[in-house]
Amino acid sequence: MFRSMAKKLASKVLDSDSTSKPVSQIEFLKDFLSKHKYVFSKDFEENLSILKRKHLVDSFMVTNFDGSLVVSSEGNGHSEGMIGTAMMSYINSELPGSEVVLIKKDDGWFMLFALNKKVFIVKAGSELSSIELKALAIELTNLMQENQHNSQHTSSSVQDHKKKVKEVA
Mean pLDDT of the chain: 79
Both ends of the chain: CA-CA distance in Å?
A: 88
Question: What are the residues whose beta carbons fall under 8 Å from the beta carbon of 150, sequence distance 6 or more?
Answer: 42
* CA-based nearest residue to 134, from 114, 117, 118: 114
Residue 124 dihedral angles phi and psi, to the nearest 5°: -155, 165
Q: Does a structural domain hold residue 58? A: yes
pLDDT tens, position by position, 99-134? 899 999 888 999 999 998 999 999 999 999 989 999
The CA distance from 104 to 109, in Å, is 5
Q: Which CATH number belongs to the domain containing residue 100 in this structure?
A: 3.30.450.30
Please state the domain count of the chain.
1
Among 10-24, 28-42, 142-156, top mean pLDDT goes to 142-156
pTM over cut 0.85: no
152 is in which domain, residue-wise? 23-168
- By the 8 A CB rule, do 46 and 28 touch? no
pLDDT at res. 67: 87
Q: Does a structural domain hold residue 153? A: yes
